[in-house]
Chains A and B, each alone.
Chain A
């Protein structure tokens, strides 16, 4: 059977590129935060060095099979999410499996990773990680509801649940969904803040309070794998949002520009805001984003 080389190429390279872009974005965030705090900050490739250092750790500790597999769940979820999103519009290399899945599948696969990590963190036995997980899951319920509202509003407006159809609809600059259904975009972006886990909503991995929450017992290669999957996941979410709202990207450069702009929203809000308590963040997600979500659906219904 003839192997579709470009597809194989896509499968091999997409995660690598995603990792690199994600990691550089992480590095740039640290540099921008430093700049805002009036200091130079680490070089942009600092995150890569951190990850290489973690992988090069000589001794690794785990508390059992579930913790051993926790990061594996995380990386599986992020890579699978990546594969099911058309990274670059109708380029043979970078569409991977996006024709087989749809938005609802993506919604669930994004949760698969955090559940796997939660199970791994659970087995460590460290009370801090358990507290972190309970906060994480409560917040998850918080931001999922407005996000789904936004997605439902879009799906109904364009009568499709598949990402490729959405991309096909947004062929021209004015056709972007950010303009066609602004309320859905607003709800989704506010939910995106919760998804990224930056400052206002980083109660889950609060370093001082609960010793960095779930990953408190993860060291060495486990932490390395977790950070890799986190960067890939960030890239995947960014691409997902660009595909839904900003009409996807024809080539790599527009993709980078769009994703970077989107990425700056949670980063900049993160730097400015102090940390919310869990119930405050849930109440936040169920006030303004929910209001916009309902508005988005009402707009579509009438």
Chain B
């Protein structure tokens, strides 16, 4: 048995065992969950080297699991994030109930994701896609009663996505006769051009729902914010990447050569752009930290989709680099918000304030997170953004560059609001009891921060696996060194020098400021501020958080009116009304039913020739 079989077996079996063990010995359950995730990680790393393939027949289709460079990329992401989230969950969920249910579903989701990434044929892809959907549904509605309608909305959208996948799979089966990925790709060409486009669009909608492209994103903000924090980190970090994994496959493996396909790509790119822009604008005016991060996560996915849809080698590299990075920094941010929730019990940005001195490490994690999201040089976000912009400019998407840049500049607003309202600002008496989160929750956060730093200094390390994956995707090559990035016009940026310069200047300036008059520099509390002579009482609240960006809101108010959510709820409601007319069909008294039978009989007799034709 090679490592892929081990991974899937251990994860799914582990899920079952944790559920059973939960009912018997409670502490053992956490240990088992962690070991299962750790062994998953171990086998994924082990599987990187070997090129394995498992084939076994099930109901006259043969199921093939194997790893390709492209899937290894995503598998490592899932393994690492899965392991870290479970490590984080141990303490976060310590005193919550129904933990067996929680861990089982978490491991099911991780197993489902492994399955998707390793499946080489459409049946197992769809099989694991559905497993991932319903187990994540059960996790979304884990917390409380309000989660029920949100969970239902999530399930309906992912069902729509999954069933459009199924229609595409069925069409492929009808056209090519079999479902193994390898020979589908060979004779994908001889499917008629129209069908190719239809299949591609269906697959894109299917995968698009999961990666929350604009028109299909409605479920994302609520589901991300209502599900428990450890799972949200995985949900937005890894689960949304499955959609991206699919889109990547469709855009490059199933790519039909017909002219129309380029139109599909352009529309997708522009959809990604609009997603990024509108999601960022919505994120700015949120008051709940998790809702804000949810919208920001949709925005970042918009960037990845743009990268894939533009299609030049550099933009694919940017997209895949962002995939890995987004997984890391989104998990970091959700975990640090979870840490705040763990200590203060709320993620409402208007009430929590001034935790920097009480939770320094969570502050550092969030600081690294927002620096990466904003794409400012020292950390990894910059390399991804740099590649994305270069590729967009070189591939003549001028106005898309402007939209993307406006979105990423507007991102500074909500990022600053997030870290300012939670950690900086007034240190209130109300939160004086808060202390740092336990060690086991800190380790994942710090590991991810370290990774983001390394990805910033040596992007090459992350770009190596990406270039292998791109080789597999469609032998796209792009020029890069361990810490120097090139664009098509030959310009380059040397991350090494950038970091050295920034580091050196920062160090010199830092030393100068600290040691200049060290003896006479003193720390004062946030109550000792210039309030024109007045002396604020101890519990007087001087925090400025409510309506933080009111002027900006007044400037762009018209843009915020359009909301797709209203349209969907409207559709949902009048569908409900439409089903009401059926009450008139099933009236409930025998006579009408008898009348139906007679009516049906007469109808058949009258139109017999028409219905059954003569040649019986």
Q: Is A–B contact present in the complex under a CB 8 A cutoff? A: yes
Chain B's closest residue to A105 (CB) is B493
Contact A127 B544 (CB under 8 A): yes
- Give min CB distance, B372 to chain A, whole Å: 12
Contact B509 A72 (CB under 8 A): yes
Which residues of chain A are near B416, meaning CB under 8 Å? Answer: 115, 118-119, 122, 133, 137
Q: A152-B398, A279-B555 are in contact. Are A62 and B529 (CB under 8 A)?
A: no
CB-defined interface of A207-235 with B at 8 Å, one 1/0 digit per residue? 00001000011001110010000000000
For the complex, give the distance between the alpha carbons of A135 and B514 in Å: 29
Q: A123-B356, A216-B530 are in contact. Are A76 and B509 (CB under 8 A)?
A: yes
Which residues of chain B are near A180, meaning CB under 8 Å? Answer: none
- Give min CB distance, A287 to chain B, whole Å: 11
Which residues of chain B are near A161, meaning CB under 8 Å? Answer: 390, 393, 487, 489, 491
Which residues of chain B are near A62, meaning CB under 8 Å? Answer: 521, 523-524
Cβ of B497 < 8 Å from any Cβ of A?
yes
Contact B525 A63 (CB under 8 A): yes
Contact A297 B398 (CB under 8 A): yes
- Give min CB distance, B354 to chain A, whole Å: 7
Contact A55 B505 (CB under 8 A): no
Cβ of B566 < 8 Å from any Cβ of A?
no
Chain A's closest residue to B406 (CB) is A145
Contact A282 B497 (CB under 8 A): no
Q: A125-B427, A141-B410, A152-B401 are in contact. Are A76 and B489 (CB under 8 A)?
A: no
Contact B551 A278 (CB under 8 A): yes
Chain A's closest residue to B487 (CB) is A161
Cβ of A192 < 8 Å from any Cβ of B?
no
For the complex, give the distance between the alpha carbons of A118 and B509 in Å: 18
Cβ of A199 < 8 Å from any Cβ of B?
no
Which residues of chain B are near A79, meaning CB under 8 Å? Answer: 501, 505, 509
Cβ of B374 < 8 Å from any Cβ of A?
yes
Chain B's closest residue to A126 (CB) is B529
For the complex, give the distance between the alpha carbons of A104 and B384 in Å: 12
Which residues of chain B are near A206, meaning CB under 8 Å? Answer: none
Cβ of B260 < 8 Å from any Cβ of A?
no
- Give min CB distance, B380 to chain A, whole Å: 13
Cβ of B419 < 8 Å from any Cβ of A?
yes
For the complex, give the distance between the alpha carbons of A217 and B505 in Å: 24
Cβ of A256 < 8 Å from any Cβ of B?
no
Which residues of chain B are near A111, meaning CB under 8 Å? Answer: 374, 376, 409, 412
Contact B356 A66 (CB under 8 A): yes
Cβ of A243 < 8 Å from any Cβ of B?
no
For the complex, give the distance between the alpha carbons of A161 and B471 in Å: 27
The 4 closest A-B pairs by CB, nearest first: A125-B526, A122-B424, A278-B551, A138-B552
B residues at A contact (CB < 8 Å): 354, 356-357, 367, 374-377, 382, 385-386, 389-390, 393, 396, 398-399, 401-402, 405-406, 409-410, 412-413, 416-417, 419-420, 424-427, 487, 489, 491-494, 497-498, 501-502, 505-506, 509-510, 512-514, 516-517, 520-527, 529-530, 532, 542-545, 548-549, 551-552, 554-556
Given contacts A211-B532, A282-B555, 6 further A-B contacts (CB under 8 A): A63-B525, A69-B513, A102-B492, A111-B376, A125-B354, A156-B393
18 contacts between A and B (CB under 8 A): A59-B522, A62-B521, A63-B525, A63-B526, A83-B501, A97-B497, A97-B501, A101-B493, A101-B494, A102-B491, A111-B412, A115-B412, A118-B416, A128-B530, A138-B413, A144-B409, A145-B409, A160-B489
